[in-house]
Structure 1
Amino acid sequence: MSVVTSSISKLETLSQAALVASGASEDAARSVARAVVKAESEGNNICGLLYIPLLCEQLKYGKIDGQAQATVEITAPGAITVDAADGLAHPAIDLGLPYLVEATKKLGIAAMTVKNSTNCLALSHFVLPLAQESLIGLGFANCPAIMAPPGGKTPVLGTNPIAMAIPGKEGPMIVIDQSTSAVAMTELILRRDRGELIPEGWALDQDGMPTTDPTEGLLGSMTPNGGHKGFGVALIVEVLSAALSGAQLSSQASPYFGDQGGPSRTGQSIIAIDPLKFNPGFTESIEHLCHSIESQSGTRIPGKNRHHNIENAKKNGLLIDSFLLRELNELISQIR
């Protein structure tokens, strides 16, 4: 694999231009580009630039409305609902977050749901701003079905990620962002495209049998992280992100990839909590908790490396697959 170094600003510009060339509005494209490059900067390339061509594909197929105008409704003092209107997830969630912050600071706890949405990629992107406001952020998102229940072989849930950001005295102290499947679906796509096998335990084939072939896994089912316990967590995510918001259930949503079906219309939900309204000593408790982890050799706090990675990316740029950069430039050339 050939790689090149590129700056954060250049990658944001290229990503935004590729999305606009594929039908997204300038504002929506800017919101997505910023999130994708931030994921790359944090070291999370699974939710990074490789998604730009995939989102561009969905825009061209009409599965995402690039010109959609999301709307916000306050249905109760602590309940914010957003309709993404079949558009990109990022501008819709960005639209609702200020209302969520305002409500949480007044009430101590508030929640926001998003329906008629699509892939929001790195879910932590939306809970980190809450931690920067000294709030706890909890995020949930459902995805098109790719995970069968333990003992079954028909997918009913998506990889259904969950995220959490916990504030400290100087910004986020703990950041967790993970799928409820054994690995993110993108891992299988990457291994397939590279002609590589996957470890046994990641996926099942269409007959419900373990497979090391990523293509068979994508046609069959991904396995939940931790067996029935992981499936239980994915079920919680499904309830909070899809059923609560009025979005399509994972089993009803069309795939994020390819030209089958219309808009996916999946959902997200974010819960924000002002911890000091519950416990004035919350920050000290978190510091003690983190110390009890970090004081042990070879350990680290989840999300601890992200700030270092971002600073390094700002200073030295990012190493990006040259093929991916060529693909972005080819997408941009469509409008010339």
Structure 2
Amino acid sequence: MSDDDNERRLSLSEIQLLATNVLTANGVSAAQADAVARNVTAAEADECRSHGVYRLLGYVRAVANGKADGRAVPKLVQETPAILRVDAGRGFAPLANEVGRPALIAAAQSLGIAVLAINHCYHNSAMWADLEPLAEAGLVSIGMTAGQRTVAPHGGSKPIFGTNPFAFGWPRPDGNPFVFDFATSAVARGEIELHQRAGKSIPLGWAIDADGQPTIDPALGLAGALLPFGGHKGTALALMVELLAGPMIGDLTSQESFAEDEGLGSPPLGGELIIAFDPQRFLGAGFASNMARAETLFASITNQDGVRLAGDRRLEARARSASEGVMVPIRLLEELDAARSSGIA
């Protein structure tokens, strides 16, 4: 059903089918396509447009240019009782996460803490979707991944870091877990790309041009560099993510990922690190009382007028999307239809 001349309303099931069809038509295996389609649909449901169906163009491009292996089979290895590693084989992050998640949950529940390192994956997805299932399993978790260099350090003018997102998940006894996911840049690169596609300017503070000057032109910002959020604080966090999701797990830095792409415009190739804690093992007999103390803290925040928890807006959008569907630009649907029709499968 068309709501206006520029957008069309699709149900979430239609979004998932669209994503699956576009990917499989381009030689992506059913397992890879299904995992990516679930991730893309979840992003659309939460109105996270920069990680929704728009990202399918990047997935398809990465397979078409020979960089990503759309038929890769991730391989899980338990290096120690607490350290797990998935080699994604240059496939996509959603399936690698799904392969490693059950073992990570089991190890964290057994030991109290466990770590999952994912190597050689193309990461083009929202990270909250990686941590939410862990919180639903009762685990606290921290996740991070580097990217391709697009972000300048505070005070600099040349890109060094990726948007280097950082995510956190906390289980709650009643209702949805507390999960947030944010780039360490002022905004996700996808948001600037969407502004460019829509012919909109960007706010000052998001990016600088190639000469290091502030810009509201998304094209100039994409050709220049994004800025870190919070100045030197965002830069420090970006560096932390870079080190932990790069050299610490034996994977690429953002500069190395950019060089490996050779200007083909693929999603970032690199690693992802997830640390999971089991509060029941940490707290023992004190588990219930300490989790209740956490709920008191949450309540002290949400009881203030005008305050919401990070992630609340996504959850409100999720409930709305389940009944109303989501709006997708007609132009994007046409591009995706072309990608499906000209696929190699």
Q: TM-score, normalised by structure 1?
A: 0.94
Unmatched tracts of structure 1, length 5 or more: none
Q: 1:25 to 1:92 in 2, by over 3 A?
A: same
> Which whole-Å deviations, capped at 9, do the CAs of 1:44-102 have from their partners, x for residues lacking one?
11211111122111111112110111111111111001111111111111111111000
Q: Cα–Cα, structure 1 residues 258 and 329, in superposed 2: closer, same or farther, change >3 Å? A: farther
CA distance in 2, matches of 1:58, 1:78: 33
Partner of 1:323: 331
1:37-56 equivalent positions in 2, closer than 5 A: 37-56=41-60
1:82 maps to which residue? 86
Q: Given that residues 74 and 88 in structure 2 are in contact (C-alpha distance below 8 angstroms), is that contact kept between their aligned partners in structure 1?
A: yes
| Pair 171,247 (structure 1): closer, same or farther in 2 beyond 3 Å | farther
The code of the aligned residue for 1:325 comes to L
Is 1:141 the equivalent of 2:145?
Answer: yes
The aligned runs of 1:1-336 (5 Å cut-off) are: 2-254=6-258, 260=264, 264-279=268-283, 280=287, 281-335=289-343
Deviation at 1:148?
1.7
Task: State how far apart, in whole Å, the 1-side matches of 2:272 and 2:175 are.
Answer: 24
Identity of aligned residues (%): 34
Separation (CA, whole Å) in 1 of partners of 2:87 and 2:78: 12
Distance in structure 1 (CA, Å) of the matches to 2:180 and 2:55: 21
Q: Give the drift of 1:290.
A: 1.0
How far apart, in 2, do the equivalents of 1:317 and 1:111 lie?
Answer: 36
Partner Cα separation in structure 2 for residue 196 and residue 257 of structure 1: 28
- 2:152 and 2:320 map into 1 onto residues whose CA distance is 40
Give distance in 1, aligned partners of 2:162 and 2:176.
28
- CA shift, 1:260, in A, is 2.8
Contact 1:96 1:112 in 2 (8 A): yes
Distance 1:60 1:237 in 2: 29
Tell me by how many angstroms 1:305 deviates.
3.5
The structural deviation recorded for 1:264 is 4.5
Question: How far, CA to CA, are the matches of 1:39 and 1:166 in structure 2?
Answer: 19
Rounded Cα–Cα distance in structure 1 between residues aligned with 2:20 and 2:166: 26
CA contact (8 A) 2:65 2:264 kept: no
Look up the equivalent residue of 2:180 and give its one-letter code: I
Cα pair distance change 1:264/1:315, threshold 3 Å: closer
Q: Determine the C-alpha separation between the residues in 2 that align with 1:152 and 1:306.
A: 33
Q: Using the TM superposition, give the Cα deviation of residue 232 of structure 1 relative to its aligned residue in structure 2, in angstroms.
A: 0.4
Higher mean alpha-carbon deviation, 57-66 vs 226-235, is at: 57-66
Residue identity matched to 1:39: A
Give the SS at the match of 1:121.
Answer: coil
Contact 1:132 1:171 in 2 (8 A): no
Amino acid paired to 2:278: D
Determine if contact 2:208/2:227 at 8 Å carries over to the other structure.
yes
- SS class of match (2:337): helix
Query: Which stretches in structure 2 are left out of the alignment for 5+ residues?
Result: none
Query: Which range moves more in the overlay, 113-122 or 30-39?
Result: 113-122
What is the number of residues matched between the two proteins? 336
Q: Which SS does the other structure have where 1:269 is aligned?
A: strand
Q: CA deviation at 1:35?
A: 0.6
Alpha-carbon deviations, 1:121-167, whole Å to 9, x = none? 10000100000001012110100011122222221110000111110
Q: Is the 8 Å Cα contact of residues 211 and 224 (structure 2) preserved in structure 1?
A: yes
Q: Which moved more, 1:69-78 or 1:258-267?
A: 258-267
TM-score if structure 2 supplies the norm length? Answer: 0.92
Q: Is the 8 A contact 2:141 2:275 kept in 1?
A: yes
Over residues 183-235 of structure 1, what are the superposed CA-to-partner deviations in whole Å (9 max), with x where a residue is unaligned? 01012111222222212111112222222221121111111000010010111
Distance in 2, matches of 1:183 and 1:256, equals 24
Residues 112, 270 of structure 1: 8 Å contact kept: yes
Q: After TM superposition, where is structure 1 displaced by more than 6 Å over at least 4 residues in a row?
A: 255-258
User: What displacement does 1:328 show?
Assistant: 2.2
Q: Distance in 2 between matches of 1:292 and 1:182?
A: 28
Distance 2:73 2:253 in 1: 23
